[in-house]
Amino acid sequence: MTVRVLVVDDSAVVRELLQRNLSRDPEIEVVGTAPDPYVARDKIVALKPDVISLDVEMPRMDGITFLRKLMTYYPLPVVILSSLTPKGGALAVEALEAGAFDVMSKTRSADADEDIYAELSAKLKAAAQVKPASRTDSSPVRLAMSRAANKIVAVGASTGGTVALMGLLSAMPADAPAFVIVQHMPKHFTRAFANRLNEMCDIEVKEAENGDSVAPGRALIAPGDFHTLLRRSGSTYFVEVKNGPLVTRHRPSVNTLFKSVGKYAGRNAIGVILTGMGNDGAEGMKEMKDNGAYTIAQDEASCVVFGMPKEAIALRCVDSVLPLDRIPNKILDISQRT
């Protein structure tokens, strides 16, 4: 099956680069390009694309406004391309809340790594298989702890994970167990995402910095382009944030986090693997399980993409497979066990 893509970007250079490089994939057909949302609107009706790549910083109408209108009146899967800047990161997070399938940082370079275009192709093809749903504002259901939590909760997520994490963390009470999280996102995007979660949640949420303490009532988000690992000194847990090679084609890598949690927290840990493409996290979750951690995978029905949970389940290292809305209660239940 060929996936029909409409490229929307105000830069003629970017449009040409995307059209040329995406067309190298035999499973993708770029059916058209548009310099702004007004032209895109007409081309969507005429060309009926399966998926759209959308810039968020455009003249006449910004991409976020266009995305919201699209999700209301003509829902289509959308992959956001945003500049690799703090402003671009904030806009990307806003786009995900508005219903975008996934985000990537954009490049204007003809010499960009082929892996970048391969990753975009993969995201576009995955997005084309998913029925989009507009986001609705709703107050999260806050859960409560009956006694102090002493567990370390390690979470890994990729495509669809931003919205899943919003639901998971916003359900946590202020005295929830400590969280350390890898969500596949570029640098700058993770800080904007952590700041948005901190506004939504009763727990503190921040982008991890080297040496940050891991403590109840706090969630640390691995910064984009850096690995984040759990470390321990006596009874105190903290994170190490460092550079290094890609692991399972990612930096930060869920496998890297999970393996460190298995080593330093062992039976004191809970591993959670959420929606996402690929297999990052499966091997690490097995190491967590082998070291005594309790492990949870999101079920297929509630995943945007079932790749990462499916791979962990295939390794027989998952204790519970649950829909997203049941995972917060399970975490709190396990946290209260001695």
Active-site positions? Answer: 158, 184, 280
Closest CA to 106 of 121, 114, 95, 117: 117
Measured CA to CA, the distance from residue 154 to residue 302 in angstroms comes to 20
Measured CA to CA, the distance from residue 301 to residue 198 in angstroms comes to 28
Query: Phi/psi zone of residue 248: left (φ > 0), alpha (ψ -120 to 50 degrees), beta?
Result: left
Measured CA to CA, the distance from residue 258 to residue 272 in angstroms comes to 9
Torsion angle of alpha carbons 114, 120, 125, 131, nearest 10°? 180
- For residues 82-99, one letter each, b for 16 or more C-beta atoms within 10 angstroms of the residue's C-beta and e for the rest, the string is bbbeeebbbbbbbbbbbb
Q: Within 10 A of 224 (CB to CB), how many other CB atoms are there?
A: 21
DSSP string, 102-132: EEEE----TT--HHHHHHHHHHHHHHHTS--
Closest CA to 179 of 210, 153, 212, 151: 153
To which H or E segment does residue 12 belong? helix 12-22
Instruction: Give me the sheet containing 102-105, strands edge to edge.
Output: 28-34, 3-8, 51-55, 78-82, 102-105
Measured CA to CA, the distance from residue 213 to residue 232 in angstroms comes to 10
